[in-house]
Structure 1
Amino acid sequence: MTHSDTPVIELRGTKKYYGTGDATAYALRGVDLKIYQGEFVAIMGPSGSGKSTAMNIIGCLDTPSEGQYLFEGIDVGSLSRDQRAILRRNYIGFIFQGFNLLGKTSAIENVELPLLYRGVPASERRKTGMEALLSVGLEQVAHHTPGELSGGQQQRVAIARAIVTNPLVLLADEPTGNLDTAKSIEVMELLSSFNRDHGITVIMVTHESDMAAYATRTIHFRDGVIDNTEHKAVP
């Protein structure tokens, strides 16, 4: 894989802790990490290892206590809360284990939400939203509510919502955690295709090694630091 010299994501000596003195609890103890455009990275580790904290910092949902987080070379710590929100809205897509869909709202309206926040006109929202649903194979259920969809379909709607803005980075937090094996494979094939065919950088937290196998690099966290990194062999 080729990439530019500037990582899209870089953590430099990143620490996150809570409390002071003897009561200080560390979630991250000094993490150095570079992720380049077009990578598919899986982040693994036991509960309390720091992987979710790292993901929240990368997603601009949290800030480091010490160290730096750079997004395309920009020090995110120097940005205001509003600027971080703009970065999150314009460059990052999110997929969650729990789908996080609005229950009484149709699939297409759920997918359109990020475009609504951007102020995109209604006709353009609908066209772009339908294209996103088509890309996950769900255009036929555009007007169904989440309650009328299976778990796998709901997660695919959530993926369509995450990619409707054509984000630079897609963050997936346990995206297959609520799905059976067949539906999990469907979701992973989708994420792989967006990474491979559209060059979207995918960063996924998972505890399932068979799901992590779809990634090109797996990073293992333990006790707030990176324990080891595995690169997938290129056939």
Structure 2
Amino acid sequence: MTVIPSCVISFSGVTKSYGEGEATAYALRGVDLEIKSGEFVAIMGPSGSGKSTAMNIIGCLDTPSQGQYLFEGIDVGGLSRDQRALLRRNYIGFIFQGFNLLGKTSAVENVELPLLYRGFPADVRRVKALEALKSVGLEHVAHHTPGELSGGQQQRVAIARAIVTDPLVLLADEPTGNLDTAKSIEIMELLRSFNRDKGITIIMVTHEIDMAAYSERTIHFRDGLIDRGTR
């Protein structure tokens, strides 16, 4: 029997506006979007196209002005700020272009942070963080600070931090933007392996066509709307 993947992300007529009256500016203009569980999706578009706003809404960092956003069937717009924070903490991992690691904190301690926020005891945090570092090939630098690591290693630490909680969805915002070509390929292969082997749904914003090629589907935003979707 064929198993049809469930829809983990659903936008229905999602609009995001700022200001009022004649001063109203629209970042999103009624977007319809579905992303199924286990997909690897790239989001592309020029600056001001709405892609970052869409990612902020997907990551529960913002809410629609109009329309409906469902995460695993839950209406995110109907949640309180604290409830959205819990959803984000328990189900979503984040990877940023700038790594966002604590500079004076070791790699393993950086990876432990999401577990600390979730109330895991210290011994469990350490074991899980070391396992996550091992999964990105960096168990040997667990006690190094970010300043002692290359850019590619720092991004792998950031990936370990994002996946240490076994998230349902991984949001990657320009994950290769600060890396050279060789390190970018290394990071993309790593992300693809987590998608393939762990079934993590990955949604990645990128300006780079060759990086988007690692995804299964590319969604293009333009002027607050989806311009063209599946490739």
Tell me which interval the TM-score lies in, with the shorter structure as reference length.
Answer: over 0.9
Paired residue for 2:164? Answer: 164
Aligned partner of 1:181 in structure 2 is 181
Per the alignment, residue 36 of structure 1 pairs with 36
Is the partner of 2:229 in helix, strand or coil?
Answer: strand
SS in 2 for 1:94: strand
Q: Which amino acid aligns with 1:156?
A: R
1:145 maps to which residue? 145
User: Do the aligned residues in 2 keep the contact of 1:9 with 1:35 (CA within 8 Å)?
Assistant: yes
How far is 1:2 from its partner? 5.0
Query: Does the Cα contact within 8 Å between 1:3 and 1:37 map onto a contact in 2?
Result: no
Aligned to 1:128: 128
Structure 2: 5+ residue runs without aligned partners?
none
Q: 1:113 maps to what in 2?
A: 113
Aligned to 2:218: 218
Letter aligned with residue 224 of structure 1:
G
For residues 102-131 of structure 1, the C-alpha deviation after alignment (integer angstroms, 9 at most, x for no partner) is: 000000000000000000011110000000
Q: Between the two proteins, what is the percent identity of the paired residues?
A: 81
TM-score of the two chains, using structure 2 as the length reference: 0.98
The answer for the alignment partner of 2:89 in structure 1 is 89
1:50 aligned partner: 50
Q: Which 4+ residue blocks in structure 1 deviate beyond 4 angstroms?
A: none
- In the other structure, the counterpart of 1:190 is 190
Find the residue that maps to 1:215 and give its secondary structure. Answer: coil
Give, as a single letter, the amino acid of the residue that structure 2 aligns with 1:127. Answer: V
Give the equivalent residue in structure 2 for 1:74.
Answer: 74
Partner residue in 2 for 1:3: 4
Distance 1:129 1:143 in 2: 12
Q: What's the counterpart of residue 64 of structure 1?
A: 64
2: CA distance, partners of 1:183 / 1:217: 22
* TM superposition score normalised by structure 1: 0.97
SS at match of 2:38: coil
Alignment RMSD (CA, Å): 0.9
Q: Aligned pair in 2 of structure 1 residues 2, 95: CA closer, same or farther (>3 Å)? A: farther
Residue type of the alignment partner of 2:230: E
Looking at structure 2, the residues matched to 129 and 112 of structure 1 have their Cα atoms a distance apart, in angstroms, of 5
- Give the paired residue count: 230
Q: What is the alpha-carbon distance in structure 1 between the residues aligned to residue 226 and residue 84 of structure 2?
A: 25
Q: How many angstroms does 1:230 deviate by?
A: 2.4
Q: What secondary structure, in the 3-state scheme, does the structure 2 residue paired with 1:230 have?
A: coil
